[in-house]
Amino acid sequence: GLSRVLGNCLHHENARIHRSINASSLLNRTWSYRFHKGRSNNISTSTDYPEFRDLPHIKTHNDLYKFSIEDPELFWSRLARSRLTWSKDFSTACKSDFSKGKFGWFEGGVLNASVNCIDRHLEKRGDEIALIWERDEPGTHRFYTYKKLSEMVGKIGNLLTNSGVKAGDRVAIYLPKSPTAIATMLACARIGAIHSVVFAGFSADALAGRINDAQAETVVTANQTIRGGKLIELKKMVDAAVSKSPCVKRVLVYYRTEAKVPMGKLDIDMTKAMVQESPNCPVVERNSEDTLFMLYTSGSTGSPKGITHSTAGYLLYTNVTFKHAFDYNVGEKFGCVADIGWITGHSYVLYGPLSNGGTTLLFESTPLYPDPGRYWEMVERLKLNHIYLAPTSLRMLLKSGDEYVKKYDRSSLRKLGCVGEPLNHEAWEWYYNVVGERRCDIIDTWWQTETGGICISPRPSEIGADIQPGMPMRPMPGIDLALFDSQGKEVKGEDVEGALCIRRPWPGMARTIYRDHDRFLKTYFQTVPDVYYTGDGAHRHKEGHYQITGRMDDVLNVSGHRLGTAEIEDVMDDHPDVAETAVVGFPHDIKGEGIYAYVVLKDGRKTKKNELDQQLRNAIKKKIGGLALPEVILFTPGLPRTRSGKIMRRILRKVASNKFDELGDTSTLSEPEIVDFIINKHKELL
């Protein structure tokens, strides 16, 4: 399997040439920025990691990292006992069998995630704000204290139990980002049910597919939602989905708006029913390895996978990474704008922040509503200390100019996070200089639905506390990264590239693909034996820092030279007229693979298209080399995306190869019209 999957990987004889290509392009990219106050090399074991106060050899963050790799049992046991609240202590930290894809963390332990996210904070922080609901309508935010959230969770938990939901049952949640959605997820956790959140922007068919795959008997939804000022008839979509999902026995309907909707015999008016329920809901204790939730991946590379996560390991991993990747202090307002339909919304809107007793934002709107200043107006009004978003929204906002940012006071911001796709240099610079006024750290975080939490981010380290643009840089504690070549051999040393793998289990890793352990085993554990195969490629730089080069499936092989798509895109993105780009390969008679570039221009660009075409080619030639020149540059008003905003390169690849009938699973595509545009334009160019 390996040579097929990594078929495009580095050939030995080309390694030298390839390295020199990278080295020359890197010459242009040697900026680095210092970490700011509060992130020094030296660890403060009294505040950062009190668990290791008695270990004198741990003085710096790098000492801590080394310790986490050398003695994972002690490292994770201590953190688990101090950061989580248990009803029964566990016996061992980790048991693992890579060959079977079986992992067990903190076995023997008993706990409940809702207790860890709410109950244990009530005494000290009951009147503090848990949730800030930034509703779609600008300026109408609402605050929810831990006490209030606890009452909602209790009522929904009782409602679910009284409607017949039991521990282990799957509950599909198709709700807008709202306190009700968070409370429903936590209510499931409280009674031991498995939540399966489906992004409320998905179609009825996509919803039905996920309900059926999970065999969910219960669906929780809203009458309507509002996004960007537009009403969406959510309940209608659910009715259509349920007609194709015979497993569904009940539908709970939360009234987000005043509008009445037809209620059938499966439907329960949740808003009304909650009034009758007691706010005190008994806790159903869970074993460490019981499934907390399942969630489908974005579907960027194929059909979405129903990833499952455990209770104890997942909770601990999101708790620890949230605190340390963002240097979060209780009392600060954390603004992760991702929807709860994605893993980012699970780990860094809900479980990470709330298990730390933090204050978390629920952003219901879109970055462009009512105008491209929405995020920054919100930052000023709510005095957010952290913002965590996706590169795609940065590239979109940067298109609209700086005025929308500069108009608002962003002095409350301390850390600027991002996740989802490679953060290109232009977007990095804009985030750092314009949004953060050169004052805030950029925290580019690499991780996946499957990893549960952040695995690579610019955490402090003794190698140097600088942050380098365009890369997530350093593995988080406990994450043992390794690169592999097409022969399945480890690529050692520095300034090298390969398939990014994780060599040791970590608590937050996925446990299986729901009802398809074979696919789990095949996708992650069989390409390279005894490691977790991420599917992404990475470059390890001189200082040992990691840069993501793109998906392994997207790696180009031009005349025997291996090129990362991210690098070519990065060079074109730097052009002042270019908003964003996507580069893919297509079969080429002579070169083996040719390069095809899709380019989206910024609003109000000045340059003519044929001049622009030439300028882009010149830039690629200068910064990477003639080898990386595209055969085709196609200008388009947009790119096909998943609903989570990621570019669907697999579709672009099919178009470039004239395979219009083989677009594959398009159920997670957000604007199908763009694909038609691109196909027509491509045919014109032929």
List interacting residues with ligand ATP (CB under 6 A): 297-302, 304-305, 343, 419-422, 444-449, 472, 534-536, 548, 551, 644, 646
Nearer residue to ligand ATP within complex by CB, 551 or 682? 551
Give 187 or 669: the residue with its C-beta nearer to ligand ATP. 669
Would you say 213 or 421 has its CB closer to ligand ATP? Answer: 421
Q: Given the complex with ligand ATP, which of 170 and 305 has the nearer CB atom?
A: 305
Closer Cβ to ligand ATP, 84 or 416, answer by number: 416
Contact 483, 498 (CB under 8 A): yes
Phi/psi at 433 (5° precision): -80, -45
Backbone torsions φ then ψ of 272, nearest 5 degrees: -70, -45
Burial class (CB in 10 A: 0-12, 13-18, 19+), 439: middle
Pairing of strands 441-444, 415-418: parallel
In angstroms, give the least distance from the CB of 418 to ligand ATP.
Answer: 7
Q: Considering the complex, what minimum distance in angstroms separates the CB of residue 342 from ligand ATP?
A: 6
Q: In the complex, what is the shortest distance from the CB of residue 556 to ligand ATP, in angstroms, rounded to a whole number?
A: 16
Q: Is 153 helix (H, G, I), strand (E, B) or coil?
A: helix
Could you tell me if 524 and 533 are in contact, meaning their C-beta atoms sit under 8 angstroms apart? yes
**Which CB sits closer to ligand ATP, 548 or 579?**
548
Smallest separation, CB 521 to ligand ATP (Å): 16
Closest contact distance (angstroms) between CB of 653 and ligand ATP is 13
Quote the least distance from Cβ 476 to ligand ATP, whole Å.
13
The per-residue DSSP string of 316-373 comes to HHHHHHHHHHTT--TTPEEEE-S-TTSHHHIIIIIIHHHHTT-EEEEE-S-TTSSSTT
Q: How far is CA 589 from the centre of its chain?
A: 38
- Whole-number minimum distance, CB 256 to ligand ATP, in Å? 26
* Residue (448 or 486) nearer to ligand ATP, CB: 448
Min. distance of Cβ 224 from ligand ATP in angstroms? 27
Give the C-alpha separation, 210 to 202, whole Å. 10
Q: How far, in Å, CA of 353 to CA of 384, rounded? A: 14
Nearer to ligand ATP, 441 or 536 (CB): 536
Listed residue (645, 72, 532, 112) closest to 351, CA to CA: 112
User: Cβ distance 287 to 477 under 8 Å?
Assistant: no
Smallest separation (angstroms) from ligand ATP to the CB of 442: 11
Distance CA 672, CA 642 (A): 10
Cα dihedral value 405, 406, 408, 413, nearest 10: 70
* Closer to ligand ATP by Cβ: residue 305 or 562: 305
CB 336 within 8 A of CB 375: no
